[in-house]
């Protein structure tokens, strides 16, 4: 992270550069609606109409089905509002992501940007570039991850409140244990692979909430679940070592589904499972009662909120952006 002085200097130079760029852009004819721009000439707010109604969307990668689905959803939602969407595929490569983004931002084809950053620390220059061009940008994560201390002009941060997610997960499991197992239980914590965003705070919050909701439940084993088949195998092995396991707290859908498979194959009952994620199969299981609760991130709602915020920001890019969180929902059999 750069020191405050260097950041300040960079911000200053960025603003200066931005002012110069804006002047230049104002004086030259731009691709859309040039008349207003050429007469204003002031370094502050270029007319919003000079920015095209085109969103550049750059997720981590288009490989995971969820992100693929999100890009499709973004296209649809934006399209319904009269916007175009350029979808980029960084394929988990931070350098590719920044390069592709900078290219689109430089070319002026984009009027707004939505980025799920592969490596937030390397996004600094891209953010500055967007700010200087007056292109509103929404990035996923907290301001601190990008080197900022709070909200910024032209940038909106949208992060997943992992602490809240973990708390919900642990709390629900505690509820289940209290309701169905009389308050005591042996818990398996199926966690995500190392290196996942927010893992530490998520797990910490989950364990704390579980302790609070069911003080007599013990977490007897923690297991990393990479994918469903290996998760199912590993949980089956864990079951051998702890034959009295009767509760599973899963950070991922694969963990929850793998646990169900493992217990079923071993012929053992599993009264209490909570899950963080919420894909279709999990939701089916929640309805059927085999999973007690699923804490789901409402990405559809988040997409709408993100897009709408960007549209608003485009009208006034110099205004300080927001800090949003992805909406979260707890789904149980009764909801």
Partner 1 sequence: MTTPNEANEVVVPAQAGTTAPPASSTAAASSSQAEVDPAGIRALIFIRDRGIFVLWALLIIAFSVWANPFFGTVDNAILVANAAALTAIFAAGVAVGIICGALDLSIPGVAALSACTCGWLLVNGHPVWLGLLAGMVVGVVVGLVNGAISLRGFSPIVVTIGTLSITTAAASIVAGGYTIPGLTDLKFMGTERYFGVPAPVWIAAAVFIVGTMFLTRTRDGIRLMSVGGNPEAVRRSGIHSDRYKVLGFVISASCAALGGLITTAVVTEASPAASPGIIFTALTAVALAGVSLAGGRGSLPRVLVGALILATISNGLTIKGIDPYWGTGVTGVLLLLSISLEKWISTTVSKRLVATAQASVHTGTR
When the beta carbons of 68 and 211 are compared against partner 1, the nearer one is: 68
**Smallest distance, partner 1 to C-beta of residue 246, A:** 17
Closer to partner 1 at the Cβ: 42 or 230?
230
- Positions touching partner 1 (CB under 8 A) are 63-65, 68-69, 72, 220-224, 226-230, 232-234, 236-238, 240-241, 243, 257-258, 261, 264-266, 279-281, 284
Residue 175 Cβ, how far from partner 1 at the closest point, in Å? 26
Which tokens sit at 83?
């916007």
CB of 243 to partner 1, least distance (A): 8
Nearer to partner 1, 34 or 73 (CB): 73
Nearer Cβ to partner 1 (150/243): 243
- Nearest approach, Cβ of 65 to partner 1 (angstroms)? 4
Instruction: Pick between residue 49 and residue 221 the one whose CB is nearest to partner 1.
Output: 221
What is the smallest separation between the CB atom of 29 and partner 1, expressed in angstroms?
Answer: 41
Q: Quick one: which of 288, 228, 223 has its CA closest to 257? A: 228
**Of 63, 293, 99, 283, whose CA–CA distance to 178 is shortest?**
293
């Amino acid at each position: 992270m750069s020191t405050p002085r260097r950041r300040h200097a960079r911000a200053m130079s960025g603003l200066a550069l931005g002012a110069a760029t804006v002047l230049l852009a104002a004086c030259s004819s731009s691709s859309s609606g040039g008349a207003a721009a050429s007469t204003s000439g002031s370094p502050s707010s270029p007319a919003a109409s000079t920015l095209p109604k085109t969103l550049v969307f750059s997720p981590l990668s288009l490989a995971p089905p969820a992100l693929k689905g999100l890009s499709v959803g973004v296209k649809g939602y934006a399209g319904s509002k009269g916007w175009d969407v350029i979808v980029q595929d960084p394929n988990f490569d931070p350098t590719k992501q920044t390069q592709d983004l900078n290219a689109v931002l430089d070319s002026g084809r984009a009027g707004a940007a939505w980025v799920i950053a592969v490596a937030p620390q390397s996004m600094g220059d891209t953010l500055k570039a967007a700010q200087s061009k007056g292109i509103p940008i929404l990035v996923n994560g907290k301001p601190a991850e990008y080197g900022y201390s709070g909200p910024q002009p032209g940038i909106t941060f949208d992060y997943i409140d992992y602490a809240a997610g973990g708390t919900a997960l642990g709390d629900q499991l505690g509820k289940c244990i209290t309701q169905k197992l009389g308050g005591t239980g042996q818990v398996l914590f199926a966690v995500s692979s190392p290196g996942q965003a927010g893992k530490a705070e998520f797990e910490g919050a989950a364990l704390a909430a579980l302790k609070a909701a069911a003080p007599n439940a013990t977490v007897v084993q923690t297991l990393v679940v990479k994918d469903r088949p290996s998760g199912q195998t590993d949980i089956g092995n864990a079951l051998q070592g702890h034959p009295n396991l009767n509760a599973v707290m899963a950070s991922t859908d694969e963990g929850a589904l793998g646990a169900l498979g493992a217990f079923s194959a071993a012929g053992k009952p599993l009264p209490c499972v909570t899950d963080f994620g919420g894909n279709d199969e999990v939701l089916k299981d929640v309805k059927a009662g085999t999973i007690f609760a699923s804490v789901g991130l409402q990405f559809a709602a988040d997409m709408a909120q993100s897009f709408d915020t960007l549209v608003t920001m485009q009208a006034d890019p110099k205004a300080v952006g927001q800090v949003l969180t992805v909406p979260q929902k707890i789904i149980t059999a009764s909801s």
